[in-house]
Every structure is written in structure tokens, then in C-alpha cells.
């Protein structure tokens, strides 16, 4: 479609159209080639824009915080719909946020207003609307456990309505909304605890930091401060001056090994690494192993492959692939493939990427 036609198409929607935008500007990995971007600062504009593009069959890429996206160097041949809504409303025991609201600002607002619930999810980059898509989780809490409902635009029917968590097929870092273009998240609503008490603290490192026994609680503000400290120490809080944070967070999910294969994996680990305890976590259909640990023990130290590389593992955490300033998407893909092949060769486990990829395959 010509740029004049695109302008005409989006004229009445309320979106602000920019052409040939480098998508690197809109992602936390800071890579990605050019595309037309329609910025939508209201839910009405967002709905009208997606409907108009869908009616003409124009490919749409939804983008908000850009923190879980690896976009190829050729950009996107369609229109990027930038979700730039910001509204947040506190209720008596809940918070409702528009999809584009900065997630950490939402968490901060609830904690400062004296509510508990979201504090373990402090410091996570990205937008509120993205959190149910991949069932964001950290420090023992997952979005699925606190979410009350999600407001969705169904792109096939054009209908708008609230969906309950039970309809969304949540799993570890996944939901029905991930890898599907069928729905657009417009708003999210979370249950909060008006007493200001945190969720039960179940993550060893956080419980130790706060000196509570497993399952104990603390005031939400105290937990938020501790989580921010832990995350910052791992380069998992955005800081433009620190290239360790030019990432998409964890680049791979922690692999869940089916029960039938666990002994074989443990044998490979002890053959290569010796009798060291590998961190594991219970999972519904097997045992979840720590991807960061496996990467490091497969020979990829923090900062791999070295200071000269444009793309390297974070110097603070092996699970984050980072852009040192001049990396391309191709550099990151090459690093991801190297790490994945090394872990597979040594431990027989194929790591799965966590970010959504656009215009490239790993
Ligand atoms: N480890 C290493 N080397 C490293 C980093 C970690 O060996 O460089 C080992 C350590 O043994 C450590 C273990 O890995 O104890 C676990 O590390 P960490 O506590 O940092 O957690 P993670 O499993 O690597 C997950 C989530 C994070 C979340 C943290 C805290 C996934 C894929 N990642 O990371 O989420 O913040 O737990 O709950 O589930 C994200 O999804 O983008 C993300 C950052």
C-alpha cells in the first residue's frame, strides 16, 4: 500500500503515523530494521487502527514496551501498531491498567498506595498489557495467579469483551495469547491485597534476602525494594547507560525435562560438571532446570564471547543476550544459536527462546 493510501486509511482512527521508523528505537534489545509505525495513545485509536488495517489485510505487529521482541534487520513489512495508552485506575481491592501502561509504574503505584500483590513483579520492563500474553513471572509469582480479567479485541469478529483467566490457557511463560494474532489486549485488571501484605515469598533467593521462611510475608514496599535490588544486580532493570540491560530479559525459558528423561540429563550433568547440585524447580509435567546454569556449565561464561563482541551474554547473567551498542539482529541470532547448540551438545537439552521473533528464525 502506498504511503498516501495508508495515511488515508488511518486518517480517522486517531493514530499518529510515522514512516520508516527504525524499530531498534522501540525495543529494549535495540535492534530491528524499519517499518511504518501507527502510535495509538487511546484505546479508541488502538481499536480503530487495528480494525482498519485488518479490514485491508495489512500485516500488523503489535508493540508496546518492546521488551520481549527480537525484530530482524529488515524490519517489518506491514504496520507496527504502537500501543501507547497509559491509564491506570485503582479500585478498593484491584487495579485496572490500559495495555500500554508501563508495567513497573503500575506495580509502583499499587505498592505506594498501600496494596500488596504485585511487588514480586517489580522492575520488569515492558507494558501492562503484555504481562498476560506470556504469563510474566518472577520471584515465585506469576501474572496468572493475580489476574482478574483481561479486556480483549477479538480481531476476527471485531468484538470487545472481558476474558477470565480460566479462558486464557496459562502455563509457564505462555498463554493462548502468545504466538497468536487473534486478540489484542486492551486492558488488564489485577486483584490486590488492601492490607498491604506481600504475596507469600516462595523464591529462595528473595526469602533469604528478606530473612523470611519459605511462604512467609512482608510489607509489599519492603519486598519491592528487595526485588529491585536483586534484579538490578543481575542487569534485569533497564538502565540506558548499562549495556547489560540492553536485552530481552531471559532469552531462553528454563527447560522442563519430562520425568522419563530426568535421570539421563542428571547423568550427563554429573559426567561433564561433576557432583554439583543443579538448580531445579518443580513443574507440572517434569522437572524445570535452570537455563542460566546449564549455559554457564556448557562453557558460556558471563560476558561470552568477550568484550570486543557486538552481541554478548550479559556480564551479570548468562540467560540475557545483550547488545553492546552496535549489534544487529543477525549478531544476536548467531549468539543464540551458538549457545543453544552448545547446551544441546553437552546436556541433550534444546533451549526454547522466550522473546517473540519477527522476520527471522532461530
Ligand atoms: N545461574 C547461573 N549463572 C548465571 C545466572 C544464573 O549459573 O549467570 C543459575 C544460578 O544457579 C541461579 C539460577 O541460575 O541460582 C537461577 O537464576 P535466577 O534466580 O536469576 O533465575 P532464572 O531462572 O535465570 C527466572 C526468570 C526471570 C525471573 C527470575 C527470578 C525465566 C526464563 N526467567 O530466571 O524472568 O526474573 O527467574 O524469578 O523463567 C524473564 O522471563 O525475562 C525473566 C527475567
Handedness of CA 344, 349, 351, 352 (dihedral sign): positive
The label of the residue with cell 545483550 reads 322
Residue 228: alpha-carbon gap to chain centroid: 16
Residue range 151-156: mean pLDDT, rounded: 97
- How large a percentage of the chain has pLDDT more than 70? 100
Task: Give the pLDDT of residue 1.
Answer: 80
Asked if residues 335 and 361 have their Cβ atoms less than 8 Å apart, the reply is: no
Determine the distance separating the centroid of ligand 1 and the alpha carbon of 104, expressed in angstroms.
Answer: 19
> Rounded distance, CA 133 to CA 174, Å?
7
Task: Give the pLDDT of residue 331.
Answer: 98
What mean pLDDT is reported for the chain? 96
Task: Give the pLDDT of residue 7.
Answer: 96
Residue whose CA is closest, atom 19 of ligand 1?
A: 205
Beta carbon of 316 within 6 Å of any ligand 1 atom: no
Determine the distance separating the centroid of ligand 1 and the alpha carbon of 253, expressed in angstroms.
Answer: 9
pLDDT in tens, 279-293: 999 898 899 999 999
pLDDT in tens, 237-257: 999 999 999 999 999 999 999
Determine the distance separating the centroid of ligand 1 and the alpha carbon of 292, expressed in angstroms.
Answer: 6
Give the residue from 231, 253, 251, 252 showing the smallest Cα distance to 242: 231
Asked if residues 27 and 51 have their Cβ atoms less than 8 Å apart, the reply is: no
Q: Which atom of ligand 1 is least distant from the CA of 318?
A: 8
Query: Phi and psi dihedrals of 228, rounded to 5?
Result: -60, -40
> Rounded distance, CA 111 to CA 221, Å?
6
Task: Give the pLDDT of residue 206.
Answer: 97
Q: Which atom of ligand 1 is least distant from the CA of 231?
A: 36
Task: Give the pLDDT of residue 285.
Answer: 87
What domains are defined for the chain? 3-83 (3.30.43.10), 88-233 (3.30.465.10), 243-358 (3.90.78.10)
> Rounded distance, CA 74 to CA 94, Å?
42
pLDDT in tens, 50-106: 999 999 999 999 999 999 999 999 999 999 999 999 999 999 999 999 999 999 999
**Residues 6 or more apart whose Cβ sits within 8 Å of residue 59:** 76, 77, 78, 79
Residue range 321-326: mean pLDDT, rounded: 98
How large is the C-alpha radius of gyration of the chain?
21
How many Cβ atoms are within 10 Å of 239's Cβ, its own excluded? 11
Give catalytic residue positions. Answer: 173, 250, 354
How many Cβ atoms are within 10 Å of 258's Cβ, its own excluded? 11
Asked if residues 117 and 146 have their Cβ atoms less than 8 Å apart, the reply is: yes
Q: Which of 28, 104, 135, 138 to mutate to test the pocket of ligand 1 (most atoms within 8 A of CB)?
A: 138
Task: Give the pLDDT of residue 223.
Answer: 98
Residue range 3-30: mean pLDDT, rounded: 96
Task: Give the pLDDT of residue 181.
Answer: 87
Task: Give the pLDDT of residue 291.
Answer: 98
Residue range 137-153: mean pLDDT, rounded: 97
Asked if residues 128 and 97 have their Cβ atoms less than 8 Å apart, the reply is: yes
| pLDDT at residue 275 tops 80 | no
Structure confidence at residue 274 as a pLDDT band (50, 70, 90): confident
| pLDDT at residue 179 tops 90 | no
| pLDDT at residue 334 tops 90 | yes
Amino acid at each position: 500500500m502506498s504511503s498516501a493510501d495508508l495515511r488515508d486509511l488511518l486518517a480517522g482512527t486517531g493514530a499518529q503515523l510515522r514512516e520508516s521508523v527504525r524499530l531498534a528505537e522501540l525495543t529494549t534489545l535495540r535492534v530491528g530494521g524499519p517499518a511504518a509505525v501507527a502510535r495509538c495513545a487511546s484505546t479508541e485509536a488502538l481499536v480503530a487502527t487495528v480494525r482498519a488495517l485488518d479490514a485491508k489485510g495489512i500485516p500488523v505487529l503489535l508493540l508496546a514496551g518492546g521488551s520481549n521482541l527480537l525484530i530482524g534487520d529488515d524490519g517489518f513489512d506491514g504496520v507496527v501498531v504502537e500501543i501507547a495508552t497509559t491509564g491506570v485506575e485503582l479500585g478498593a481491592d484491584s487495579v485496572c491498567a490500559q495495555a500500554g501502561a508501563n508495567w513497573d509504574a503500575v506495580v509502583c503505584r499499587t505498592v505506594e498506595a498501600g496494596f500488596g500483590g504485585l511487588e514480586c513483579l517489580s522492575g520488569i520492563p515492558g507494558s501492562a498489557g503484555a504481562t498476560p500474553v506470556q504469563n510474566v513471572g518472577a520471584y515465585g509469582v506469576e501474572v496468572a495467579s493475580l489476574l482478574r480479567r483481561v479486556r480483549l479485541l477479538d480481531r476476527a469478529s471485531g468484538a470487545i469483551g472481558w476474558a477470565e483467566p480460566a479462558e486464557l490457557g496459562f502455563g509457564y511463560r505462555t498463554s493462548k495469547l502468545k504466538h497468536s494474532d487473534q486478540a489484542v489486549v486492551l486492558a488488564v485488571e489485577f486483584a490486590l491485597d488492601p492490607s498491604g501484605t506481600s504475596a507469600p515469598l516462595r523464591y529462595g533467593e528473595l526469602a533469604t534476602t528478606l530473612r523470611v521462611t519459605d511462604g512467609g510475608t512482608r510489607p509489599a514496599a519492603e519486598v519491592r525494594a528487595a526485588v529491585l535490588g536483586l534484579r538490578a544486580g543481575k542487569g534485569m532493570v533497564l538502565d540506558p547507560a548499562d549495556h547489560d540491560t540492553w536485552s530481552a530479559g531471559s532469552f531462553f525459558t528454563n527447560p522442563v525435562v519430562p520425568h522419563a528423561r530426568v535421570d539421563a540429563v542428571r547423568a550427563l550433568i554429573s559426567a561433564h560438571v561433576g557432583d554439583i547440585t543443579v538448580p531445579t524447580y518443580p513443574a507440572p509435567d517434569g522437572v524445570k532446570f535452570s537455563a542460566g546454569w546449564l549455559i554457564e556449565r556448557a562453557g558460556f561464561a558471563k560476558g561470552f564471547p568477550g568484550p570486543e563482541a557486538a552481541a554478548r551474554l550479559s556480564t551479570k547473567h548468562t540467560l540475557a543476550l545483550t547488545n553492546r551498542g552496535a549489534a544487529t539482529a543477525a549478531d544476536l541470532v548467531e549468539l543464540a544459536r551458538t549457545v543453544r547448540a552448545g547446551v544441546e551438545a553437552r546436556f541433550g537439552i534444546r533451549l526454547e527462546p522466550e522473546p517473540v521473533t519477527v522476520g527471522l528464525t532461530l
